[in-house]
């Protein structure tokens, strides 16, 4: 059989002819699944969601609360309740739908490989309720290269599509509705034409083979992680020689061949994607017998950089023992409550081991192993303040009214004006400034 070619197979008269009342099922209503389902409902499709987490489903079915924080998401859920449905019965989601989006988690294993347990469970449900139903199965979860071959036995005569997500936490709704590009990896003409019907009003939709789509997802995140790690290393150099990394970033990013995105230094990347996906890409390449020195060095660089500001400040004060340290920000970035692989958690562990009295504040995020406080309580008489998350509320906060006179402000996000901070009698340590 000739290899399927999306470029030539979606140009027929039936391409994109699907009606707007196409019924869509979504398995998994975590971050990606709930944003995907809600935005598809906003586009006019009828969507039914299922998840094994009974507490989460109960909240969504009763409308008590949105289980994740994402700007505009709660508003859009309420707006689209006529098209957006939730069920705790998989048959009602899978059997009823024409298209099934799989949006379950793919966490990292200790060796860097992807834990496919949730994907397999979702595919088991497809196998049980729709193995030979001729549906279109759309994989949104980030899965390793070669996953389609692995899942063939579960798919039956259903069409398979890999449609990776490129959602930034805090901007996920915007990114879904106004994407830079949409990548669709297809295995047959039915799947390709169905996705044309879903994305017919979107610009820059790329139809490729499934393996290429899988690589695009991992390569994109690895490239962005590389830019962050690179600029964090440059920030350390700027601190050493007295340069300003913000000016360096502006100068480098003004080159059209490079561009300004992801050239802002910080405490080290975290979250649900970059750490997991860089490790998974290294594992995949190693399994294929290919060396990956660049990606491996990015991972090492990021892990090392998470300790940089801790070491920088400790060198100035000798020890954190018995010092009160305020950590502002627990989430790995602003506008999310996600603390996965957050640099703040790494910092808090090191401070505690060095004997510091640690007080943490975040306006939204929490963690079962970390006590959080009101911002005034966290700052009161602090010897050192680490600014770890770029929350808007921190930018103009009068730190000098709460902390000790002469306290150190370790601005890991470069939120503050150095002269303004120093004019209040505080010591300013910036990231590359």
Write out pLDDT tens, residues 320-339: 999 999 999 999 999 999 99
**Above 70 in pLDDT, residue 17?**
no
What average pLDDT score do residues 395-399 get?
95
CA–CA separation, 283 and 287 (whole Å):
6
Residue pair 78/41 in contact by the 8 Å Cβ criterion:
no
Q: Copy the structure tokens of residue 147.
A: 């996953």
Q: What is the pLDDT of residue 4?
A: 59
What average pLDDT score do residues 174-191 get?
96
> Hey, is 40 helix, strand or coil?
helix
- Flag whether 335 is in a domain: yes
What average pLDDT score do residues 390-419 get?
96
Q: Residue 103 catalytic?
A: no
What average pLDDT score do residues 273-295 get?
96
What average pLDDT score do residues 159-180 get?
96
For the chain, how many structural domains are there in total?
2
Residue 103: name the closest of 160, 26, 183, 25 by CA. Answer: 26
Q: What is the pLDDT of residue 10?
A: 54
Average pLDDT, whole number, for the chain? Answer: 93
Q: Could you tell me the pTM of the whole model?
A: 0.91
Q: Which of 210, 225, 252 is the last residue of a domain?
A: 210
> Hey, is 183 helix, strand or coil?
strand
Q: What is the pLDDT of residue 13?
A: 43
State whether 177 and 321 are in the same domain: no
- Flag whether 74 is in a domain: yes
**Above 80 in pLDDT, residue 31?**
yes
State whether 424 and 320 are in the same domain: yes
CA–CA separation, 45 and 38 (whole Å):
10
State whether 27 and 160 are in the same domain: yes
Q: What is the pLDDT of residue 5?
A: 63
pLDDT > 90 in the chain, percent: 86
Instruction: Decide which of 168 and 61 is more confident.
Output: 168
Residue 125: name the closest of 86, 163, 161, 151 by CA. Answer: 151
- According to DSSP, the β-strands at 408-411 and 384-387 are parallel
- Flag whether 167 is in a domain: yes
- Flag whether 116 is in a domain: yes
- What does each C-alpha distance from 309 to 82, 177, 268, 343, 350 come to in angstroms? 50, 37, 10, 11, 11
Instruction: Tell me the pLDDT band of 1, cut-offs 50, 70 and 90.
Output: very low
Q: What is the pLDDT of residue 54?
A: 87
CA–CA separation, 134 and 132 (whole Å):
6
Alpha-carbon dihedral sign for residues 172, 176, 179, 181: positive
List the single range of 10-14, 159-163, 174-178 with lowest mean pLDDT.
10-14
Q: What is the pLDDT of residue 12?
A: 47
Q: Which of 194, 210, 226 is the last residue of a domain?
A: 210
Q: What are phi and psi of 423, to 5 degrees?
A: -70, -15
- Flag whether 240 is in a domain: no
- Flag whether 291 is in a domain: no
Instruction: Tell me the pLDDT band of 67, cut-offs 50, 70 and 90.
Output: confident
Instruction: Decide which of 65 and 290 is more confident.
Output: 290
What average pLDDT score do residues 146-168 get?
91
State whether 322 and 182 are in the same domain: no
Domain at 333, CATH number: 3.40.50.720
State whether 58 and 180 are in the same domain: yes
Count of helix runs (H) and strand runs (E) in the chain: 18, 13
Instruction: Tell me the pLDDT band of 117, cut-offs 50, 70 and 90.
Output: very high
- Flag whether 219 is in a domain: no
Instruction: Tell me the pLDDT band of 219, cut-offs 50, 70 and 90.
Output: very high
What length does the chain have? Answer: 433
Q: What is the pLDDT of residue 146?
A: 86
What is the per-residue DSSP string for 411-423? ETT--S-HHHHHH
Q: What is the pLDDT of residue 2?
A: 42
Q: Domain limits at 140?
A: 18-210
- Flag whether 243 is in a domain: no
**Above 60 in pLDDT, residue 224?**
yes
State whether 193 and 324 are in the same domain: no
What average pLDDT score do residues 23-49 get?
96
Out of 186, 238, 273, 412, which one is annotated catalytic?
273
State whether 318 and 199 are in the same domain: no
Q: Which of 141, 175, 210 is the last residue of a domain?
A: 210
What average pLDDT score do residues 126-149 get?
91
């Amino acid at each position: 059989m000739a290899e399927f070619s999306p470029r030539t197979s979606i140009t027929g008269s039936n391409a994109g002819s699907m009606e707007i009342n196409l019924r869509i099922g979504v398995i998994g209503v975590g971050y990606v699944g709930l944003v995907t389902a809600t935005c598809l409902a906003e586009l006019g499709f009828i969507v039914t969601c299922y998840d094994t987490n009974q507490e989460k489903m109960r909240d969504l079915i009763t409308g008590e609360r949105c289980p994740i924080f994402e700007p505009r998401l709660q508003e859009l859920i309420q707006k689209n309740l006529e098209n957006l449905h939730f069920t705790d019965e998989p048959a009602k989601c899978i059997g009823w739908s024409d298209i099934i989006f799989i949006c379950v988690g793919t966490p990292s294993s200790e060796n860097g490989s992807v834990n496919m347990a949730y994907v397999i469970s979702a595919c088991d449900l497809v196998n049980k309720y729709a193995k030979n139903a001729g549906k279109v199965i759309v994989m949104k979860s980030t899965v390793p290269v070669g996953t389609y071959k692995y899942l063939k036995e579960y798919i039956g005569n259903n069409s398979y599509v890999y449609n990776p997500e490129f959602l930034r936490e805090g901007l996920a709704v915007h990114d879904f509705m106004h994407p830079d590009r949409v990548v669709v990896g297809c295995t047959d003409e039915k799947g390709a034409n169905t996705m044309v019907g879903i994305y017919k009003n979107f610009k820059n939709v790329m139809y490729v083979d499934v393996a290429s789509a899988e690589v695009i997802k991992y390569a994109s995140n690895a490239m962005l992680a590389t830019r962050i790690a690179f600029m964090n290393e440059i920030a350390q150099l700027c601190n050493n020689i007295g340069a300003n990394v913000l000016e360096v970033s502006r100068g480098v990013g003004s080159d059209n061949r490079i561009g300004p995105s992801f050239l802002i230094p910080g405490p080290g990347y975290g979250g649900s994607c970059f750490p997991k996906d860089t490790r998974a890409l290294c594992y995949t390449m190693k399994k294929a017998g290919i060396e990956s020195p660049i990606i491996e060095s990015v991972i090492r660089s990021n892990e090392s950089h998470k300790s940089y500001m801790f070491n920088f400040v400790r060198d100035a004060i000798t020890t954190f023992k018995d010092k009160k340290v305020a950590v502002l920000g627990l989430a790995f970035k602003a506008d999310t409550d996600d603390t996965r692989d957050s640099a703040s958690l790494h910092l808090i562990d090191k401070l505690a081991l060095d004997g510091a009295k640690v007080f943490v504040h975040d306006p939204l995020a929490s963690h079962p192993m970390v006590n959080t406080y009101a911002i005034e309580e966290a700052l009161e008489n602090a010897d050192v303040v680490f600014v770890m998350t770029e929350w808007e509320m921190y930018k103009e906060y009068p730190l000098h009214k709460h902390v000790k006179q002469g306290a150190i402000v370790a601005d890991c996000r470069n939120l503050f004006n150095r002269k303004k901070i120093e004019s209040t009698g505080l010591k300013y340590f910036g990231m590359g400034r």
